Structure 1
Amino acid sequence: MKFAVGEVVQFKKEHPCGSDQWEILRTGMDFRVKCLKCGRVIMLPRPKFEKSVKKIVDS
């Protein structure tokens, strides 16, 4: 899958706040994503990010 900054992706598991949708803020070896419900920003290594993504919701 190809990912771009600004896309919204749905993860397989929910964040503790109850949302499963995240906006991509940075791509590369690590991904920085922001939760669309609570605004939490996390960084994930590429393999973990790609494994967590269920689908691309909006681009």
Structure 2
Amino acid sequence: MIKEYELGTIVQMKKQHPCGSYLWEVTRLGADIKIKCKGCDRIVMLPRNKFEKDAKKVITEK
């Protein structure tokens, strides 16, 4: 579970995306978090508590 992230942060998620990538970029913050897959550019919006639970670690910060 991670807590330190901001716009532009690259995070590694626990589950692999169907395209094969684990890396996602945070593109919107709020009650929901919008993340973009670094492999296929798919955009997904998750509730903040699910994002914090599913994110494994921060790869790079802005």
TM-score by length of 2: 0.92
Structure 1 residues 11-37: Cα deviation after superposition (integer angstroms, max 9, x where no partner): 001000000000000011100000001
- Name stretches of at least 5 consecutive residues in structure 2 with no aligned partner: none
Query: In 2, Cα distance between the equivalents of 1:51 and 1:13?
Result: 11
- 1:57 is matched with 59
Q: What does residue 42 of structure 2 align with?
A: 40
Q: Percent identity?
A: 49
The structure whose RCO (Cα within 8 Å, separation 6+) is larger is 2
State the Cα RMSD in Å.
0.6
Alpha-carbon separation, structure 2, partners of 1:42 and 1:13: 14
Give aligned pairs, total.
Answer: 59
SS in 2 for 1:31: strand
What residue ranges of structure 1 are gaps of 5+ in the alignment? none
Of the candidates 5, 12, 15, which is equivalent to residue 3 of structure 1?
5
TM superposition outliers: structure 1 runs of 4+ over 4 Å: none
